[in-house]
Amino acid sequence: MKRLTFDTICSLVTGFDPKYLSIELPSLPYADAFDVIEQVILYRHCVPATVWKFQRWVGIGDERKMREAQECFDGFLEERIRVKKKESFEKKEMETVVDDDFLTMIFSGEAGIDQGKLTDGFLRDVVFNLLVAGRDTIAAALSWFFWLVAKNPNVEEKILKELAQVMGKDELNKMVYLHGAMCETLRLYPSVPYEHKQSIEPDVLPSGHAINGNTRILLSIYSMGRMEEIWGSDCTDFKPERWISTSSTDEKKMVVNHVPAYKFAAFMAGPRTCLGRKIAFVQMKVVASCVLRRFKIEVVDGHPVVPEPSILMFMKYGLKVRVSNRA
């Protein structure tokens, strides 16, 4: 899943397919560097700031790994930006059809970004953030989704029934039950299990708690998804139906319930809402529908499935399954 989403998000953002999911499963230094960066970010959350800042200053330990990984990944990003900028300008001069990736949209002016702001540093930061948002978060969510579906045959049966009705019509928005199963997966196993915020000035939280300026606050999205006072007595059950209701105009039509972002915070809320929410659901639906329609997935007996300590909720031991063709 990580290889698939890395190929996909690189293609969408830079127009370049690294072929990380090729049959030979290649090792790409810049993809490995991506993993190192995530690991060191978690390390920074677990030790006093003075420790990792000292390590960064003298260039030792995890901070040395971080520096090397950043240099490697920045080199990859800078090369992709340079190539895409050259291609875009050449195609524009020749008046040929340009690609539809994000970098092309930026260089062509379609993204609505002031061309005067397009410094190399700005472009690198934008592309890096988009790659972070579109790679591992979706990969983690899909892994938990397939595990939950495999452990709940009744849910799998309902998804297959829905797919049989809408597949081939290119209508992802009609996959209501599948959407509910995706939301339920993210409620129980949010790709970003906690958020780290810091107040700039003294404030009062909605709960009534007063906080000082420069106060660090950890929001446990994982815990919120399992709180009985928020989701009811069945909060630990995998129940896609909680996201679905009948249409007010047609009792036979099922629609997705609107749940406030401050209740379902897997994509955060307000000004900090994830910009890639819609893209994430599209990609997850496409992958899930293609896989489940063709293959039966069964979790290997005795395989441990537990979260890995990380800034993202991966499975510590991966997901070991048996795959067979559907009849």
Please report the domains of the chain, with CATH numbers, ordered by start residue: 1-134 (no CATH), 136-327 (1.10.630.10)
Annotated binding-site members: 274
- Whether pTM > 0.85 for this model: the answer is yes
* CA 326/CA 187 separation, integer angstroms: 29
* CA 218/CA 122 separation, integer angstroms: 28
For the chain, which ranges sit under pLDDT 70? Answer: 92-99, 110-115, 167-170
Chain mean pLDDT for the chain: 88
DSSP letter string, 193-210: -EEEEE-SS-EE-TTS-E
In this predicted structure, what is the pLDDT of residue 168?
A: 60
For residue 202, give every residue at least 6 positions away whose Cβ sits within 8 Å of its Cβ, in sequence order, or none.
Answer: 210, 211, 212, 213
- The enclosing H or E element of 57 equals helix 49-58
pLDDT digits (tens, 9 = 90+) for 51-99: 999 999 999 999 999 999 999 999 999 999 988 888 877 776 666 655 6
Report the SS3 class of residue 296.
strand
In this predicted structure, what is the pLDDT of residue 26?
A: 93
In this predicted structure, what is the pLDDT of residue 77?
A: 92
Provide long-range contacts, Cβ within 8 A and 24+ apart, for 202-211.
none
pLDDT digits (tens, 9 = 90+) for 115-124: 677 788 888 8
Tokens for 282, please give them.
């599209």
The strand pairing partners of 322, in sequence order, are 298
Residues 11/101, Cβ–Cβ less than 8 Å = yes
Annotated binding-site members for heme: 274
